[in-house]
């Protein structure tokens, strides 16, 4: 089974710059001006242009909702593992990310919480030692 991650954005070129220049992903295919595939993560990420105020679904529960690219919370977010978290955070901020949780030390490494320019939350992680295995089997 393949997992594809879809991210709605309201400015395709800004989104491409944020995810390629900010995180080091590469443009795969450009299907149309409103659909760009990004490669370089564990799963392809599809940037989908959808205008602010448009409805994400036509009917049923949630159909009264409209797209809003201000900061919003959802129980799903993306974690990007990086080699140098300080450089990644600085780069992402340069491309429009808002730092919401400064770099914090954990037993498994370091984490920072950000929001992309489209209101989506994301974390960057820098593992140390055995990464998450440090939680399961501490020294």
Domain ranges of the chain: 1-52, 71-139
List the alpha helices (DSSP H) in 5-129.
12-17, 85-94
User: Stretch 8-13: mean pLDDT, rounded?
Assistant: 97
Which segments of the chain are extended strands (E)?
5-9, 26-32, 35-39, 45-49, 78-81, 98-106, 109-115, 121-127
pLDDT value of residue 99: 98
pLDDT value of residue 31: 93
Nearest to 81 by CA among 120, 45, 118, 40: 40
Nearest to 113 by CA among 105, 101, 104: 101
Q: Is the pLDDT of residue 1 over 90?
A: yes
User: Is the separation of the CB atoms in 70 and 62 below 8 Å?
Assistant: no
Q: What is the CATH number of domain 71-139?
A: 3.10.180.10
pLDDT value of residue 120: 96
Classify residue 114 by burial, with Cβ atoms within 10 Å: 0-12, 13-18, 19+.
Answer: buried
**Which residues share a beta bridge with 101?**
113
Q: Is the pLDDT of residue 32 over 90?
A: no
Q: Which CATH number fits domain 1-52: 3.40.50.720, 1.10.3720.10, 3.40.1110.10, 3.10.180.10?
A: 3.10.180.10
pTM: 0.89
């Amino acid at each position: 089974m393949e997992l594809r991650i879809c991210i709605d954005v309201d400015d395709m070129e800004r989104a491409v710059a944020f995810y390629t220049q900010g995180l080091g992903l590469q443009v795969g295919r450009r299907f149309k001006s409103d659909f760009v595939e990004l490669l370089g993560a564990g799963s392809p990420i599809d940037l989908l242009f959808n205008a602010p105020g448009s409805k994400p679904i036509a009917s049923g529960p949630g159909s009264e909702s409209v797209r809003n690219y201000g900061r919003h919370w959802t129980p799903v977010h993306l974690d990007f593992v990086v080699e140098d978290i300080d450089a990644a955070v600085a780069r992402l901020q340069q491309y429009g990310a808002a730092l919401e949780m400064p770099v914090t030390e954990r037993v498994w490494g370091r984490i920072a919480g950000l929001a992309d320019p489209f209101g989506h939350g994301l974390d960057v992680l820098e593992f140390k030692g055995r990464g998450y295995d440090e939680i399961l089997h501490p020294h």
